[in-house]
Amino acid sequence: MGEAEETEETHDAESPAAASEKTTTTTTTTTTTEDEGRRRGNETSSSSLSSSPSEEEEERSPETSLRSETESSGSEEETSSSSSEGVRELLRRLAIDGEGEKTLAAKQPRLKTRDVKGIAEYIESDECKNVVVMCGAGVSVAAGIPDFRTPGTGLYDNLAEYDLPYPQAVFEIGFFESNPEPFYLLASHLQPGKFEPTKTHKFIKLLETKKKLRRCFTQNIDSLETKAGVSEELVVAAHGNFDTARCLKGHSQDIEKVMEHVAKGEPMRCETCGEYVKPDIVFFGENLPIRFGQLARIDFNPENCDLLIVMGTSLQVQPFAGLIEYPDIDCPRLLINREKVGEVPSRRSFFEMGMSKGRGFDFSEEGKRDVLFLGDCDDGVSELCKHLGWEV
């Protein structure tokens, strides 16, 4: 990755310490490479309020498991309806409207104008060396892959033929264990190879070519970022992809064989233990890849993230959605999406707000650093490229 890539090892070695300074409750490691961390296998997501849990506890840490903002248990509902307003108000007064706001007010805004042109000028400046990108299904809609939650066209509104108890069951590990067929059928339509990268994917590659891309965190399982040419080490497939597969007992599988089953929509069983086989896509109830937590902790540090670009996501799924609150308090953020999202802080962020850690988007006039492009991703990046004088 040019500049960012060359410096990555240094950043990796230094940044966990910086991360622990920033969030005192973060469980840090002293790993210097991703592989070392993987061998240790004890990473949690970037913020855990528990103090140094054991390896086993970390494996089960709720912070690393995939969960949707829309599905909430009774107790969560109770929390959000009765006490969260009070908590939010208290934290706002204590932290955000207190020290956090004062700190922010004291800083010079980094954008000359809070619009796409201002973002383009900032990208061109020396101040903006590292851009972090976050993507969701919306970036691949122009490629012909439906998103999940858009009413009418989204996948979750079009799964009637799969005979599911509720749409999201198709990506739930508990459901898959007893009935993997709906997933295999759906995967037969979504498997990589059928689709081509969009202008937005090519823009991400362009950021790399211009030596501005620090990392692209994607929720998408279509691997279109790498197909557009973005280097593998610069992409974090937060929800996994079809590159590898294992059975439910963890035995590695020959991916070509698995993809033959996926293409036919026929569930495959492990030859060793007879359990069902699943591509390494993160289902609800499963942990995210270790690399997600490791790199999120490093890449969103102030010295590594000068600009955050969020594209094509409803920010409904945690822990991914919470990442928008990790950059520095004055770090500019650009949202390119068909609808406004991410304005209300997530439940988890109430605690982080208490630590002056961050907040959701603020596109209001009082806001200081967030820019919104309401529309299609491809149009948003075209507008940005027009101001940058870049050819996508």
Which of positions 147-186 make contact with ligand OAD (CB under 6 A)?
A: 147-150, 154, 171
Nearer to ligand OAD, 325 or 328 (CB): 325
Structure tokens at 308: 């955050």
Q: By rule CB under 6 A, what string of x and - marks binding of each residue 317-356 to ligand OAD? A: x-------------------xxx-x---------------
String of contacts with ligand OAD for each residue 218-237, x by CB under 6 A: -x-x----------------
Q: Which amino acid is at 108?
A: Q
Count the neighbouring beta carbons within 10 Å of the beta carbon of residue 19. Answer: 21
Q: Does 138 bind ligand OAD (CB under 6 A)?
A: yes
Strands (E), the chain: 67-68, 131-135, 213-218, 235-237, 240-247, 277-281, 307-311, 317-318, 333-337, 370-374
Q: d(Cα 55, Cα 43) in Å, to the nearest integer? A: 8
- What's the min distance (Å) between Cβ of 341 and ligand OAD? 5
Query: How much of the chain is in helix, strand and coil states, percent to nearest 5?
Result: 45, 15, 40
| Peptide bond connecting 319 to the previous residue in cis, omega within 30 degrees of 0 | yes
Check 11, 201, 239, 261 and give the catalytic one: 239
Q: For ligand OAD, give the closer residue by CB, 95 or 190.
A: 190
CB < 8 Å & 24+ apart, contacts of 29-36: 29/294, 31/294, 33/9, 34/291, 34/294, 34/295
Q: Which residue, among 244, 245, 249, has the nearest Cα to 232 in the 3D structure?
A: 244
**Which residue, 312 or 345, has its beta carbon nearer to ligand OAD?**
312
Q: Is residue 205 a contact point for ligand OAD (CB under 6 A)?
A: no
Taking contact as CB under 6 A, which single stretch among the options 32-40, 87-95, 135-143, 325-333 is the one that binds ligand OAD? 135-143
> What DSSP string runs through 117-170?
HHHHHHHHSTT---EEEEE-GGGGGGGT---SSSTTTSGGGS-GGG--SSGGGG
Give yes or no for residue 136 binding ligand OAD (CB under 6 A).
Answer: yes
Clarify whether 387 is annotated catalytic: no
Give the footprint of ligand OAD on residues 7-66 (CB under 6 A): 66
Q: Which is nearer to ligand OAD, 347 or 368 (CB)?
A: 347
Stretch that binds ligand OAD, among 32-40, 134-142, 265-273, 345-353 (CB under 6 A): 134-142
* Binders in 279-308 for ligand OAD, by CB under 6 A: 282
Cα 306–chain centre separation: 17
Active site residues: 239
- Judged by the rule CB under 6 A, the positions of this chain that interact with ligand OAD are 66, 136-138, 141-142, 147-150, 154, 171, 219, 221, 239, 282, 312-314, 316-317, 337-339, 341, 376-377
